[in-house]
């Protein structure tokens, strides 16, 4: 029995390999749990009840109201500027009621009143010029041409998005890499155990021959 136990004792390298495998298994499970609770579940809730549609521009306008944004001009240099509010009203193929277009879910959460938030510049005039350029783009280049937009009738029935922040690729990577980490850890543990078992059997067969 003592010889058997001694034979199955792991060397320092094998012990490190086992620890690495168990560490990867734990990291994969914790990552999957954390991402599922903090990121994946809200993303799926945002996508639930939503879909894509064809949108057509109804009106493009600037409101008199201006909103604040924060600019950065160096490590210790930050300030506040203002930009005008641009609204792009569209009609979707799913509903005849007008809806307010937004760049994505992130922009919608940041400023639900406007369709576009320009990169915040220090000069208010530069911010206004960026918004005016975007206004001309929607009026002149897009015009009445239909384009794909996204909606969620449960969360925001009166708003549509030009693109999704949480698309299928992001969701796939959110699930894929924790699973890969977990499987690599399992593989390391299994291979270490198998290698040790084969080494013990080879040593037993060698002793029998002698």
Q: Per the structure, how many domains does the chain have?
A: 2
In this prediction, residue 196 carries a pLDDT of 84
Count of other CB atoms within 10 angstroms of residue 130: 19
Count of other CB atoms within 10 angstroms of residue 117: 21
Do 23 and 64 reside in the same domain of the chain?
Answer: no
Do 96 and 127 reside in the same domain of the chain?
Answer: yes
Domain of residue 190 covers: 16-35+168-207
pLDDT tens across 114-171, in order?
999 999 988 999 999 999 999 999 998 888 889 988 877 666 778 898 887 655 556 6
Residues 104 and 165: beta-carbon distance below 8 Å: yes
Indicate whether 8 belongs to any domain: no
Distance of alpha carbon 174 from its chain centroid, rounded?
7
- Token pair, residue 151, equals 């909606």
- Distance, in Å, from the CA atom of 185 to the CA atom of 117, rounded to the nearest integer, reads 44
- Is pTM beyond 0.95? Reply is no
- Distance, in Å, from the CA atom of 93 to the CA atom of 182, rounded to the nearest integer, reads 44
User: What's the Cα-to-Cα distance from 168 to each of 9, 40, 52, 165, 180, rounded to whole Å?
Assistant: 47, 11, 13, 10, 18
pLDDT tens across 74-85, in order?
767 788 999 999
Distance of alpha carbon 137 from its chain centroid, rounded?
28
Do 133 and 174 reside in the same domain of the chain?
Answer: no
Residues 133 and 118: beta-carbon distance below 8 Å: no
Do 82 and 159 reside in the same domain of the chain?
Answer: yes
């Amino acid at each position: 029995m003592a010889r058997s136990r001694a034979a199955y004792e792991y060397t320092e390298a094998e012990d490190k390999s086992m620890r690495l495998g168990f560490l990867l298994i734990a990291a994969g499970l914790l990552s999957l749990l954390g991402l599922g609770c903090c990121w994946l579940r809200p993303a799926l809730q945002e996508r639930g009840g939503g879909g894509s549609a064809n949108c057509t521009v109804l009106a493009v306008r600037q409101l008199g109201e201006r909103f604040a944004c924060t600019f950065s001009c160096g490590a210790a240099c930050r300030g506040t500027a203002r930009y005008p509010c641009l609204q792009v009203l569209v009609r979707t193929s799913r509903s005849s009621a007008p809806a307010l277009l937004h760049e994505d879910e992130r922009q919608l959460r940041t400023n639900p009143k406007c369709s576009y938030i320009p990169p915040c510049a220090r000069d208010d005039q530069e911010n206004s010029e960026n918004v005016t350029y975007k206004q001309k783009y929607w009026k002149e280049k897009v015009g009445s041409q239909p384009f794909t937009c996204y909606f969620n009738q449960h969360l925001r029935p009166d708003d549509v998005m030009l693109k999704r922040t949480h698309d299928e690729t992001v969701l796939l990577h959110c699930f894929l890499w924790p699973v890969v980490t977990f499987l690599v850890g399992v593989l390391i543990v299994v291979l270490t155990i198998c290698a040790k078992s084969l080494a013990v059997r080879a040593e037993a067969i060698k002793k029998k021959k002698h």
